[in-house]
Amino acid sequence: MKTELAQQILAHASALPEGAALTAKGFLHLGTRAAIDQTLSRLSRAGKLMRSGRGFYVLPVESRFGTRAPSPERVVAESARLRGETIAPHGAVAANRLGLTTQVPMRATYLTSGPSRQLKLGAQSIELKHVPPWQLLNANRASGEVLRALAWSGRPHARESLARLKPKLTPEVREELVASRSSLPGWLAETISVELAA
């Protein structure tokens, strides 16, 4: 029965998209909570599942090069969905993508509306940092990426950074940035007003 439960869990997991979170609650129709907890734990120790956080597991991805952890982006997106959080890439990542810096963060870091915490994916650690709501405005849009890059640049360098980005911004992104001013700290709202709304 124990091995049958493990097979049922793995069969269910393999039908899900990459990075989908597996929790004991999702398998209560297959057995008791204690049996499911034990089976998930055993599958994790055997390398069939990876523990991504307390009570959360993910299925490793099999490829022709061997087994790897699911992509951090997918695991983080799934965690956000389950917890009802807004999550976005760190400002340093946004600044790098936009060409403001060549630095790439050593560790995968995301900003979240939820509590600060760490997710583990095998040897990899993903950091989630709680930030004020304004840093998550337009989370999955280009204007949100600009806001996070400017926040990362900081007050002394934000205007210079925005001046560098200005020629690349579409009219839509400019409008969204100008429209977001009322939700931003004064220094950032002023930077956007001076550079884009003049």
Q: pLDDT of 36-50, one tens digit each?
A: 999 999 999 998 999
Q: Do 58 and 109 have their domain in common?
A: no
Last-in-domain residue among 15, 40, 68: 68
Q: Do 102 and 48 have their domain in common?
A: no
State in Å, rounded, how far the first CA of the chain is from the last one: 71
Q: Do 7 and 64 have their domain in common?
A: yes
Confidence class for position 33, pLDDT limits 50, 70, 90 = very high
Q: Do 6 and 23 have their domain in common?
A: yes
Q: Coil, strand or helix: which one is 108?
A: strand
Q: Is the pLDDT of residue 2 over 80?
A: no
Q: Do 87 and 45 have their domain in common?
A: no
Q: How many domains does the chain have?
A: 3
Q: Do 6 and 43 have their domain in common?
A: yes
Higher pLDDT, 80 or 133: 133
Higher pLDDT, 54 or 171: 171
Instruction: Specify the pLDDT at position 55.
Output: 84
- Domain residue limits at 21: 2-68
Q: Do 64 and 7 have their domain in common?
A: yes
Token pair of 27, please?
A: 């398998």
Q: Do 126 and 165 have their domain in common?
A: no
Higher pLDDT, 188 or 124: 188
Instruction: Specify the pLDDT at position 166.
Output: 95
Q: Do 51 and 86 have their domain in common?
A: no
Distances (CA, A) of 82 to 40, 44, 78: 19, 21, 6
Give, as one character, the DSSP assignment of residue 70: P
Q: Do 126 and 161 have their domain in common?
A: no
Q: Is the pLDDT of residue 1 over 50?
A: no
Distances (CA, A) of 53 to 15, 16, 86, 169: 21, 18, 18, 38
168 and 139 Cβ atoms separated by less than 8 Å: no
Token pair of 66, please?
A: 């061997």
Q: Do 127 and 181 have their domain in common?
A: no
Q: What are the pLDDT digits (tens) for 91-136?
A: 999 999 999 998 877 788 999 999 999 888 877 889 999 999 999 9
Q: Please tell me the distance from the alpha carbon of residue 180 to that of residue 107, in angstroms, as a whole number.
A: 29
Which CATH number is 7's domain given? Answer: 1.10.10.10
Instruction: Specify the pLDDT at position 114.
Output: 93
Token pair of 59, please?
A: 């299925």
Last-in-domain residue among 68, 86, 101: 68
109 and 129 Cβ atoms separated by less than 8 Å: yes
Last-in-domain residue among 68, 84, 108: 68
Q: Do 92 and 44 have their domain in common?
A: no
